[in-house]
Amino acid sequence: MSLQMSEAEGAVKVEEWQQTFYAPDSGIQSGATTIRDEDSVSARAGESATDMEAQYSLTRAQRVRAAMFPETLVEGETALTAHSNPDQPTNVQRLAEPSQLLKTAIVHLINYQDDAELATRAVPELTKLLADEDQVVVNKAALIVNQLTRKEASRRVLMQSPQMVSAVVRAMQNTGDLETARCAASVLHSLSHQREGLLAIFKSGGIPALVRMLSSPMESVLFYAITTLHNLLLHQEGAKMAVRLADGLQRMVPLLKKTNPKFLAITTDCLQLLSYGNQESKLIILANGGPESLVFIMRNHNYEKLLWTTSRVLKVLSVCPSNKPAIVDAGGMQALGQHLTGSSQRLTQNCLWTLRNLSDAATKQEGLDGLLQILVSQLGSDDVNMLTCATGILSNLTCNNARNKALVTQSGGVEALIHAVLRAGEKEDVAEPAVCALRHLTSRHPDAELAQNAVRLHYGIPAITKLLGQPHYWPVVKATVGLIRNLALCPANQAPLRESGTIPRLVNLLLKAHQETQRHGSGAQQTYQDGVRMEEIVEGCTGALHILARDPINRGEIASMQTIPLFVQLLYSYVENIKRVSAGVLCELALDKQCAEMIDAEGASAPLMELLHSPNEGIATYAAAVLFRISEDKSSDYRKRVSVELTHSLFKHDPAAWEMAHAAMPLDPGYIPDGVSALVSGVCVCFCLNVGVLTSVTVGFIEFIHLKSPSVTSPPSVSRVLHHVKLLEIWMQFTLHMVTLIYPWMASRWTLSYMSNICQK
Give yes or no for a contact between 148 and 130, defined as CB atoms under 8 angstroms apart: no
Q: Which of 340, 248, 266, 357 is nearest to 298 (CA)?
A: 340
Instruction: For 204-213, write each residue's pLDDT tens digit.
Output: 999 999 999 9
Is residue 244's pLDDT more than 60?
yes
One fold for 112-246 and 363-500: yes
Q: What is the CATH architecture of 502-630? A: Alpha Horseshoe (1.25)
**pLDDT of the residue at 682:** 41
Q: Per-residue confidence at 200, pLDDT binned at 50, 70, 90?
A: very high
Angle at 415 between CA 411 and CA 420, to 5 degrees: 115
**pLDDT of the residue at 647:** 62
**pLDDT of the residue at 270:** 98
Q: What's the Rg (C-alpha) of the chain?
A: 47
Measured over the CA atoms of residue 244, residue 246, residue 251 and residue 252, the dihedral's sign is negative
Q: 331-351: buried (b, 16+ CB within 10 Å) or exposed (e) per residue? A: bbbbbbbebbeeeeeebbbbb
Distance of alpha carbon 583 from alpha carbon 611, whole angstroms: 9
Q: Which residues contact 175 (CB under 8 A, 6 or more apart)?
A: 135, 138, 139, 181, 184
Averaged pLDDT of the chain: 79
Cβ burial of 273 (10 Å; 0-12, 13-18, 19+) is: buried
Pick the CATH number of 363-500 from 1.25.10.10, 2.50.20.10, 1.20.1050.90, 3.40.190.120: 1.25.10.10
Distance of alpha carbon 139 from alpha carbon 603, whole angstroms: 98
> Which segments within 653-742 are labelled E, that is strand?
none
Angle at 387 between CA 383 and CA 391, to 5 degrees: 175
Q: Which residues contact 280 (CB under 8 A, 6 or more apart)?
A: 244
260 φ/ψ sector (left φ>0, alpha ψ -120 to 50, else beta) = beta
Topology of domain 112-246, per CATH? Leucine-rich Repeat Variant (1.25.10)
Distance of alpha carbon 652 from alpha carbon 684, whole angstroms: 16
79 φ/ψ sector (left φ>0, alpha ψ -120 to 50, else beta) = beta
Which has more confidence, 458 or 79? 458
Q: How far is CA 740 from CA 90, 361, 686, in A?
A: 117, 55, 11
Distance of alpha carbon 228 from alpha carbon 232, whole angstroms: 6
Give yes or no for a contact between 716 and 664, defined as CB atoms under 8 angstroms apart: no
- What φ, ψ does residue 136 adopt, rounded to 5°? -65, -45
Instruction: For 461-511, write each residue's pLDDT tens digit.
Output: 999 999 998 777 899 999 999 999 999 999 999 999 999 999 999 999 999
Q: 376-392: buried (b, 16+ CB within 10 Å) or exposed (e) per residue? A: bebbeeeeeebbbbbbb
Q: What is the mean pLDDT of residues 612-633?
A: 86
**pLDDT of the residue at 74:** 58
Give yes or no for a contact between 311 and 298, defined as CB atoms under 8 angstroms apart: yes
Is residue 321's pLDDT more than 90?
yes
Topology of domain 267-362, per CATH? Leucine-rich Repeat Variant (1.25.10)
Q: What is the mean pLDDT of residues 312-335?
A: 97
Domain ranges across the chain: 2-56, 112-246, 267-362, 363-500, 502-630, 635-761
Is residue 52's pLDDT more than 70?
no
Size of the chain, expressed as the number of residues it contains: 761
**pLDDT of the residue at 426:** 78
**pLDDT of the residue at 523:** 52
Instruction: For 649-670, write each residue's pLDDT tens digit.
Output: 655 555 665 565 455 444 433 3
**pLDDT of the residue at 107:** 53
Q: What is the mean pLDDT of residues 624-638?
A: 79
Residue type at position 58: L
Q: 194-198, 228-232, 642-646 — which is least confidently predicted? A: 642-646
Instruction: For 104-136, write each residue's pLDDT tens digit.
Output: 655 554 445 555 677 677 888 889 999 999 999
Instruction: For 275-288, write each residue's pLDDT tens digit.
Output: 999 999 999 999 99
Q: Which of 97-101, 351-355, 424-428 has the highest mean pLDDT?
A: 351-355
